[in-house]
Structure 1
């Protein structure tokens, strides 16, 4: 079964519109904390220039369920946090938006990881312009019906999260099975998010 026919069956023939990420949701830049403000143990992880917390802080500036992108250091890395956190100034995060499920955005950006990484400026400190992410076109199913659109997005997120959980949980199986699950996750993620653009359908 082709990607297009699979999506038609999954989405039951709903209309899909490709919209730039920046038109749907405005990324917000985090705020810098100086070293003296960081805590070894605190309520909220602080993300600065990698996916490893720089330290902790007693306040948060990004709510739970937020997608974020590192733009310096480990530039181009994409993260999602189930808990509130502090985004420092080398991080852009995507606040809640009406038309797009934040976790759906996260899974979509993962499919664009290579494209995003290719735009990183290689220097002493690698850097990424957030405009690279804002210009990406994300497929929004059934955009004229917000409730249905979000329900479809949530269904896709549920499917991908299940594969992701199997992939990242060592307790689920031996290393060879984990590798297999990783390949399955990537396959279905790309399949579910590979909506045809109008010009591709016409061709």
Structure 2
């Protein structure tokens, strides 16, 4: 930062000139490509729409004819002109500039393109905040062209770009590390479980009955109480309903109740979500939270829990997807010998722990880096305007 301070003191100590963005580059609008030529088969070039500016990636392709001027290349600065007004540097190869996405091009000799990239987001945020009374906000090319941005000397621009690029590169490295760990875990999950050699194929219904707790009526619950009652919306989280301990003991002793280690499954909402029962006193909503009362001499609970992550459930329609007992009973898994099950489960649990630790630690570090980046960006891009 001291180097930048020295450069500013040497070259623009009293401020800099502000100019309309339209004087520094061209705002080039995308084209209304015909959706009948869109496809998801990889035929043609990716079509870059507003949502793709935000994600930096498009999986929709255009197979029709086009003019070369609509082609987007790596490094092009794109802006989504509806919604949040985000700027992004394109990094996913050649694509086509769709309508309501613009590209900044033909930059003046007074500016570096990457400096404008960093600078323009502040202007986009200002314009976005100034638009009221609209559910979805829209940006016009004219308004963008009229936006005024500072034009410090090129040597100052280069130093600012260098500093901000360092932050964005570090963020990209952290995101890539997290994604690599997730992919590694998914690879081992599928490789270790789906390998058929020397294994028996069994239906879940052959491992044991699908079990559930006794139905609890709403009138039997309260927002506070003795025993947490987990419904589908609170499964795996914090309970918001409780039942009396006397009722819990009666139902636990009279009706089906999970054993410690049994794998509880969500049959509605996020279907197939699997959580081992820790044995702490709790009750679970019937039909929506179930378990297989399996014989652990045939299939261990840790092995079964991992299988629930890769099973493709055959569900029965409706607005709310759900698993019925028959869906669960029909599902098939591969069953190796018990010792192999234990080895596979231990390996996958180790990878899951590593991935979970990264999933907690890296996002926190990313959030800290983003705050640091935004702090420095705001400082680096603010200049006194020459009168």
TM-score, reference length from structure 1? 0.77
C-alpha deviation, 1:30, in angstroms = 0.7
Structure 1 residues 63 and 124, CA gap change in structure 2 (3 angstroms) = same
Per mean C-alpha deviation after superposition, the further-off stretch among 129-138 and 26-35 is 129-138
Distance 1:48 1:119 in 2: 24
C-alpha deviation, 1:185, in angstroms = 0.7
Distance 2:132 2:116 in 1: 23
For this pair of structures, how many residues does the alignment match?
188
C-alpha deviation, 1:116, in angstroms = 2.3
Contact 2:4–2:159 under 8 Å retained in 1: no
Higher relative contact order (CA 8 A, sep 6+): 1
Higher Cα radius of gyration: 2
Aligned to 2:198: none
Pairing of 1:44-123 with structure 2 (within 5 A): 44-50=45-51, 51=53, 52=55, 53=58, 55-57=60-62, 60-72=70-82, 74-82=83-91, 83-99=93-109, 100-120=111-131, 123=134
Unaligned runs of 5+ in 2: 179-360
Distance 1:103 1:29 in 2: 19
Per mean C-alpha deviation after superposition, the further-off stretch among 171-180 and 98-107 is 171-180
Instruction: Find the partner of 2:147 among 136, 139, 153.
Output: 136
Deviation track 1:30-55 (CA, whole Å, cap 9, x = no partner) reads 11111222232256432223235371
Residue 11, structure 1, aligned to residue 8, structure 2:
yes
Residue 189, structure 1, aligned to residue 377, structure 2:
yes
TM-score, reference length from structure 2? 0.43
Structure 1 residues 125 and 117, CA gap change in structure 2 (3 angstroms) = closer
Unaligned runs of 5+ in 1: 143-148
Distance 1:37 1:121 in 2: 36
Aligned to 1:126: 137
Distance 1:181 1:10 in 2: 25
RMSD of the TM alignment (CA)?
Answer: 2.8
